[in-house]
Amino acid sequence: MFPMLNSFLFLTLVLLSTVFSVKNFRSGYSRAGRIALLAAAISVVVFSLLYKWEAFHFFLPAICLLLFLISFIPLPKVSEDLKKEETEFDERDIVFSRYRLKPGTENYLSYYGKKPEKEVPDAATRALPGLLSKQSRFYHRFNAAAADASFFLLHHLRDSVDGEVREKTGGHTPEQIGNYLRSLLEHYGVSCYGTALMKPDNYYSHTGRGQGTYGDEISTDHKFAIVLGSEMKPRFTATAPLSPEVVETGSRYVDSAVWAVQTASFIRDLGYSARAHIDGNYQVITPLVAHDAGLGGFGWSSLFLTEEFGPRVRFSVVTTDLDVSALPVKQQTSFLSFCNICRKCAINCPSRAINPDKLEKVNTDRCFKYWNSVGTDCGKCMAVCPMGHPWGVLKSFALRSYIAGWLLKKLDDIFYGRKPGSLRIPQWMGNK
Ligand code: SF4
Ligand code: SF4
């Protein structure tokens, strides 16, 4: 019985290594692909050499049994209180809104009159070359134009986030609409989606950069939300902080914005109020809504992570008065216990915006300053995150079991590197 069990386990190991290798090559992680292939080859050699040795047949089953038994030891819990530190978020305080303030204008004077400590550091950030700027360190003529094209489109989509609500006809129930909507979202090709009940503190308190007048109070009328995510492709995110990363960011923001604008329009057509919240024009704090929709949780990097894609997702939201509670609300996931033993984002952050020693919010001022000097949105914390790598079901175990978490961290360091460099710019992009 043991030789058979041993053969089965070895074959499974070889098969999984090969599948993992193919997955990695296809995603652009050639280093991980090569290591997985090598692991598969070594397994075959070891198996052939040791097959005749009787004691060997107990070896692998014994290791598997041991791993199974100790896998019940849970990861020590880490408090999830980070996101609750503030109960009200004013969009005027975020780095993007502050960056747009023009010295001498009424908004500038009123903002820095209240927050004088931010004036000097913000002026220093404004003096840097800026995102996609020709003077920035990682400037790439074609990629800057490609990213700009996405932000151009997003800018114009801002006028389509809301519109006229049609009369309700046909007597359809919210449940029937919700069922249709679920298939419609899949038809659009949405990578992940979820629904949430809106809480007042999921909205910004005042407008800072989106549609409407600067400083206007934001209405919190809509009670429901649909969150739509678009997966960022690893071949591009792994080039972070080089320019392909920002091309991918822009493109995926466009996907999720288009889906959100379409979804909001679809809902309004059926007689319910709905507004899309898209990049540059959010009235909601998207990660908080995504969290309430059960799409994932916050990582050490302060980024929002999903179990499937880690931080490699760009979100839009639709808020509405259509009761979408019939759509599935997923179970929330906690990542921080695994993060506590990982901290890879912090040790790889080029601007030291993430504290490696203590769990606290990312220093967005430092991070944004770095973006404005290199000209891209960096994304190194996203690129190195093990939760964004194609570990499949092992990620689920790693979030719950101490041994699986420890194993994943070690394996991730071996396959992808503890401090990996940036992947080469894809050949078709050239070196412009
Ligand atoms: S890199 Fe590690 S510590 Fe950072 S968010 Fe990802 S899992 Fe958490
Ligand atoms: S926190 Fe900012 S600067 Fe640091 S790795 Fe992430 S994106 Fe880059």
Mean pLDDT to the nearest integer, 56-85: 74
Return the higher-pLDDT residue of 411 and 333: 411
What pTM was computed for the model? 0.92
3-state secondary structure of 377: coil
375: which strand partners?
none
Q: Is residue 333 very low, low, confident or very high in pLDDT (cuts 50, 70, 90)? A: confident
Q: How far apart are CA 91 and CA 415, in angstroms?
A: 40
Query: Which of 80, 237, 339, 384 should be mutated for ligand 1, with most atoms under 8 A from CB?
Result: 339
- Chain-centroid distance of CA 139 in Å reads 24
Q: pLDDT digits over 147-166, tens only? A: 999 999 999 999 999 999 99
Least confident range of 30-34, 44-48, 361-365: 44-48
* All structural domains of the chain with their residue ranges: 2-70, 81-337
Distance 415 CA to ligand 2 centre (A): 22
The response to whether residue 349 sits with its C-beta less than 6 Å from ligand 2 reads: yes
Considering the chain, what is the average pLDDT of its residues? 92
Query: Which of 304, 313, 380, 385 should be mutated for ligand 1, with most atoms under 8 A from CB?
Result: 385
Omega of the bond prior to 241 within 30 degrees of 0, cis?
A: yes
Distance 93 CA to ligand 1 centre (A): 26
pLDDT of 239 higher than 70: yes
- What is the structure's pLDDT at 169? 84
